Amino acid sequence: MPEITYREAIRQALRYQLQNDERVFLMGEDIGAYGGSYAVTKGFLDEFGEHRVKDTPIAESVVVGAGIGAAMAGLKPMVELMTINFSLLAIDQIVNNASKLYYMSNGQINVPLVIRMAGGAGSQLGAQHSHSLESWYAHVPGIKVVVPSTPYDAKGLLMTAFDDENTVIFIEHTALYASKGEVPEDGYRVPFGKLQVFRPGADVTLIGYSGSLHQAFRAAERMAQEGIEAEVLNLRTLRPLDVDGILASVRKTHRAVVIEDDWKFGGFAGEIAAIIQEQAFDDLDAPVMRCSGSDVPMPYAAALEQAALPQEDGIISLAKRIVGGRA
């Protein structure tokens, strides 16, 4: 398989959909002439034309509302919002319309809409461009929340998102766009709600998604040098969540650390910890630990930004604390 970037993997999925489904079109701020804020749609305007690739005003609520209307009318729009922070300007459309129309119409109205947005920090983009708000959307029934960690996942999960008959929130981590991995050239799918055991282990389960998966993996590799074998889980989607996969791993290792860039208070790691405590309490040999971002707006300065994010040393410290006799 060829090795390509996370950015190119997303491009391949979008191009495949545009080439193979005439109902698909893309819309968003600067995605056409400029080529996208993260260069994902660069060249698409020339390749597919203004009918399929539409630049929009800086009005997120209008853009998502238009996407919802187009989806209700039988098209398959992909709306790109520059960052997840800016999606808050469209949260009424997402939460009160896109997520509810299928239910409120008793299944008569579908909203096959894909909303792409960039989240996460590590790129020095400042507090209004750098947060991880995926737990806000995972809280809402009626929408699916996808958080790819690798180029393989990015392409396969985005292909699956276009197959869905209702709204999918697709969140790309800004620090991963240049990362590389092997990706098939065909139009394969990665299923929603099925995690990946990214690294097998027997002593402790490290649960990550998006950017935090790679931190968990690097921490696991370092701990292996000291004889601690950590199992690393790549969640892939937060809603649907692979609860069975999480519980199976925890029942094997009897310990868990959840890693996420989001703030600890009210973050998704707390939901995962609660699920494990409720459904696998008797299998635990230690409390579930969380390694999360600091409770501050994301700093701009590089050193402060890194200090506000979870780090490998913190993951290792928590894992050693709950692996008896290994601290």
Active-site annotation, residues: 60, 129
185: nearest Cα among 312, 313, 316, 3 = 3
Distance CA 122, CA 290 (A): 20
Q: Is 263 helix (H, G, I), strand (E, B) or coil?
A: strand
Q: Identify the bridge partners of residue 207 per DSSP, sorted by sequence position.
A: 233, 258
List beta partners, residue 107.
none
CA distance 94 to 234: 26
User: Is residue 180 within a helix (H) or strand (E), and if so which, with residue range?
Assistant: strand 180-182
Distance of alpha carbon 81 from alpha carbon 71, whole angstroms = 17
CA angle 274, 276, 282 (to 5 degrees): 120
Task: Quote the CA–CA distance of 88 and 50 in Å, as a whole number.
Answer: 27
Residue 36 DSSP SS3: coil
- Cα four-point dihedral sign 116, 23, 29, 3: positive
Can you read off the two tokens belonging to residue 18?
């545009």
Q: How far apart are CA 258 and CA 318, in angstroms?
A: 10
Tell which residue, 97, 93, 14, has the closest CA to residue 52: 14
CB 233 within 8 A of CB 275: no
